[in-house]
Each structure stands twice: as C-alpha cells, then as structure tokens.
Structure 1
Amino acid sequence: MEKKKVNIVLRSTSRIADSEPETMELITDGTLERLVDGDKSGWRVTYNDAELTGYVDSSTTVSCFGNDTASMHRTGDLTQELVMENGQLRRCLYETEYGSMLFGVYTKSIENTISDEGGELKLSYSIESNGDLVADNRVELSITGR
C-alpha cells in the first residue's frame, strides 16, 4: 500500500505530578502507510503538528506493530522520539529549547485497530526522570480516509 491521505483526530491527555489532567485536541490531515519488517507488519501515520506544538514545520510520525510496540518521532525545530513496548521501561531522548534530556518511558498499554481503512491507536504511558514520575499520558489517534 502506498501512502494514503487520511484525516486524523489526535487527543492527548497529560497529567503532570499532582496537577489536574490537561487534554489537547488536534484535527489535521496526514498520511497512512503499511510497514513490513521481516515477518511483522504495521502502520506509519505522519501528520503536521505545528499548530499543537507551536513549532514551525513540526511533524510527527507514529509507527506501530500490532499491540506490542509503537514509536513517536517528532521532527522540526526540535527532535523528540518516544519508543514504546508494552509493559517495558525504555530510555528516550527528548529535545527541548533548554537542551536535551533523557527520560524513561513506561508503556502501560498499546491498543491498535488500524487497517487499510483507518482505525485507532491508543497509547498509555508514563514518563519518568531520575526515577521520579514526571507525567502520565494518554494519546489517541483516530484515522479516517479522505
């Protein structure tokens, strides 16, 4: 399958330390394409998120293989990459305007129903720094054809 143009609704909820959860929503266009890695197949979703991040030319690519692994890679003014594996703690580099930081990302769940027609990807994970909880996050991508 070549890249297919899709509509994307992104909902991101983050709860930092003891604060109330904050939810952001972005409705945008993007692309969907099938990935094949050896005997595994998955999906890649790419979208422009400059409106959400405030960074010019910012785009995010989300890749997923079943309900086991997913990654989010942001490019543009800042580069950020989260690699998620169900039930695992992974170290990820996160660039900010103040410099680069290494975080731990613990994946609570990956729910993937993406197909050629679209679908949903739900990621639940926590971010830690030096063993302390920084934030609990839930990201939901709803993908439909155009």
Structure 2
Amino acid sequence: MNNKEVIISIQGKQSFDDAGEETVELVTSGTYSGTENGYTLSYLESELTGLEGTTTTFQIERGRVTLLRMGPVSSQMIFEEGKKHFSLYETVYGAMTIGVSASRVKTELSDLGGDIEIDYAIEIDHAVAGENIFKINVREVGANGKNRILS
C-alpha cells in the first residue's frame, strides 16, 4: 500500500495524582501506509499540542505500537501490553528517561484505516507520573473532498 492522505482523530486523556484529569482532542491530516509488518501513521504536530514543528509517527505491528517524535521534541515510546519499556524523552528543557507500561494495546487496522487504543502509565525516576489513554481513528480523505469514515 502506498502512502495515503488521511484524517487522524486523536483523543488523549491524562490522569495525574496531584493535578486531576486532562483531555486533549485533535483532528489533523497525515499519511498512512502499509509496511511489511503492519502500518505507519505520521503527522505534523501543531501549536495546539505544544509540540509545534515535531513530526509524530506511529509504527503499528502485531501487539506493539512504537511512537516516534522528531523535531524540537524527540522521543521514542514503545507500547506493548504487559511490558515496560524505557526510553529517552528529549525536550527543549533537557532530556529524561521515562518508563512506559501499557496495560492495553488494541489495534483494528486495515488498508482503509481503523482504530488504535492504548492505555498506559508513564514513570519518571521509577515513580508513576500519570495514567494515559490514546484513542486514534484513521480515515481516508474522500476523492470528492469529503471525509469517509472507514472503521
């Protein structure tokens, strides 16, 4: 499958012990393509997310989703159900090591698009810093300029 222009709807929910809950919703355009082992989804972050100028890419394989960010904010986060992965998270303020533990990784994708849902906790210095949920929907941009939901 070649790169397709898609509409990506993302809902992210973060829960922090000391700060309550925060929900962010974003609808953006991006690209979607098939790979030998799954799918790749990519989009440019905006000022709304605080990551302006950063490209975010999801590499989706069976049972595993890798989030890569490149630009002013660079990071790699691996989501694999029941496993903890450590990675370096680089920001304009400096770098830190974070742990990511996914309790749920659900992907329902085809060449036409679909859904991704990831429930995970982030640890900083071995202490849980927050619980998070990503819900992502991918749909093809219709030939007539209208969007068609494919999942």
TM-score, structure 1 normalization: 0.91
Given that 1:49 and 1:58 are in contact with CA atoms closer than 8 Å, whether structure 2 keeps it comes out as yes
Distance in 1 of aligned mates of 2:107 and 2:47 = 25
Write the letter of the residue equivalent to 2:133.
Answer: R
Gaps of 5+ in 1: none
Question: Contact 1:50–1:59 at 8 Å: present in 2 too?
Answer: no
Deviation at 1:56, TM superposition (A): 3.3
Query: 1:130 Cα deviation (Å)?
Result: 2.1
CA contact (8 A) 2:72 2:91 kept: no
Structure 1 residue 83 displacement after superposition: 1.1
- Which 4+ stretches in 1 moved above 2 angstroms? 51-56
In the alignment, structure 1 residue 142 sits paired with structure 2 residue 137: yes
Note the C-alpha offset of 1:91.
0.3
- State the Cα distance separating 1:54 from its structure 2 match: 2.7
**3-state SS of 2:68 partner:** strand
Identity %: 29
Mean Cα deviation higher: 11-20 or 119-128: 11-20
Is the CA contact (8 Å cut-off) linking 2:97 and 2:125 kept in structure 1? no
Contact 2:77 / 2:100 at 8 angstroms: preserved in 1?
yes
Q: 1:23-71 deviations in whole A, cap 9, x for unaligned?
A: 00111001111111xxxx21110011123333432120011112x1111
Secondary structure at 1:90's aligned position in 2? Answer: strand
Gaps of 5+ in 2: 142-151
SS of match in other structure, 1:113: strand
SS in 2 for 1:21: strand
Kept in 1, the 8 Å contact 2:51–2:72? The answer is: yes
Distance in 2, Cα, partners of 1:61 & 1:33: 11
Structure 1 distance, partners of 2:54, 2:99, is 23
Alignment of 1:12 with 2:4, yes or no, is no
Structure 1 residue 16, shift from structure 2 partner: 1.6
Q: TM-score, normalised by structure 2?
A: 0.88
Q: Alignment partner of 1:52: what SS?
A: helix
Q: Matched residue of 1:56: which SS?
A: coil
